[in-house]
Amino acid sequence: MVSFGNSSGAVTGVSLGILAQKGSLFVTRPTLATHVIPRAKLEASARELFGLILKKKIKVKIDQTYPLADAHEAHRDLQARKTTGSIVLLP
């Protein structure tokens, strides 16, 4: 199981003993810092990502845009789960 974020609350009720009994299953809680330190690793990852975007191997889908002046609305909609995917604030 991969736990990424807690928008629905903390994970509860997971028995590590049962995971072992079911065949050495495991739980992980990844963090971005693990993958981007030192800074050179972050910069290399960013170059690779943007290179793939430029080559159109990764498509960026922006689902909502808000004027920067309406950032409060974006936050409210996000907290109310009225959004999906990426949100971009525009100047």
pLDDT category at 74 given cuts 50, 70, 90 is very high
Q: How far is CA 67 from CA 60, 74, 80, 81, 91, in A?
A: 19, 9, 19, 19, 6
Res 24: pLDDT:
84
Query: Residue 52 has which token pair?
Result: 């793939």
Residues 6+ apart with CB under 8 A from 42: 36
Span 22-46, mean pLDDT? Answer: 90
Is the pLDDT at 3 greater than 90? The verdict is no
Res 11: pLDDT:
83
Domain spans of the chain?
A: 61-91
Res 6: pLDDT:
80
pLDDT category at 43 given cuts 50, 70, 90 is very high
What is the value of pTM for the model shown?
Answer: 0.58
Is the pLDDT at 10 greater than 90? The verdict is no
